[in-house]
Amino acid sequence: MKLLLISNSTNAGEPYLQYPMPRIDAFLGAVREVVFVPYAAVTFSYDEYEAKVRARFAEAGIEVRSVHRAKDPRRMIREAQAICIGGGNTFALTRKMQEQGLMKAILTKIKAGTPYMGWSAGSNVCCPTICTTNDMPIVEPESFKAIGAVKFQINPHYLDANPEGHAGETREQRILEYIQANPRRYVVGLREGCMLRYEEGKLELIGNRPMRIFKKGIEPYEVQAGDDLSFLL
């Protein structure tokens, strides 16, 4: 498998997709065409999403084709040189992917070695389930099951902060609830500006911030870029 799982598309104060594009370009290598899944878009159209991503990828000489334009989305996935899923609402994305049978089709391609990359919701759906998304369930998918290319769960945009005056649960408390209910599953808190790359059987953290590891029975702890992450595999 070849995966690039990105926490967020855009760092605060930066242009869209600025920080991950060099990594995306290097990850794709000689591949210069990507099939894009825009179904996480809710408050703007799929056409607008495609155009936004296409403009940024074009700067690196990468062509973007969106599945929402295809008469047969599964066929487009089967023929893809690489697959990219953008962020937005994970529940909207999951429902549409399930309706079109894209979860299984994408997993088959990933297992065959087709490069896959996603950010935010696009990273969530690479996991076994979407249960560690931060999003509101604005629509009801068929199930919470996702692509399942990796064995662990990702919480993108992971935050440590507990804002002053906020009496609700922190992000960590929510994840601790998840691992209590799902004791066999690891969850990784992937902070903004960071990503996970899986290639040639090796998983690595990329970025200047540590990643937080959660598992029932283990005190949450941090790993840094360069640390051995083979336990997640």
122 pLDDT above the threshold of 70: yes
Would the CA dihedral through 57, 78, 28, 32 be positive or negative? negative
pLDDT value of residue 170: 87
The pLDDT of residue 167 is: 61
pLDDT in tens, 64-89: 999 999 999 999 999 999 999 999 99
C-alpha 3/C-alpha 75 separation (Å) is: 21
Q: How far apart are CA 158 and CA 151, in angstroms?
A: 19
Which of 88, 119, 122, 87 has its CA nearest to residue 103? Answer: 122
Q: Report the amino acid identity of residue 33.
A: E
For 86-98, what is the mean pLDDT?
98
Task: Give the catalytic positions in this structure.
Answer: 120, 135, 157
State yes or no: pLDDT of 160 exceeds 90. no
- 117 within 8 A of 3, measured Cβ to Cβ: yes
Tokens of 95: 């429902």
CA–CA distance, 63 with 157 (Å, rounded to integer): 27
Q: Check residue 168 and report its DSSP letter.
A: S
Q: What is the mean pLDDT of residues 13-27?
A: 95
Average pLDDT over residues 145-163: 91
The full set of domains in the chain, from first to last, is 2-232 (3.40.50.880)
- Work out the average pLDDT over 199-215: 96
- What pLDDT is recorded for position 38? 98
Predicted model pTM: 0.95
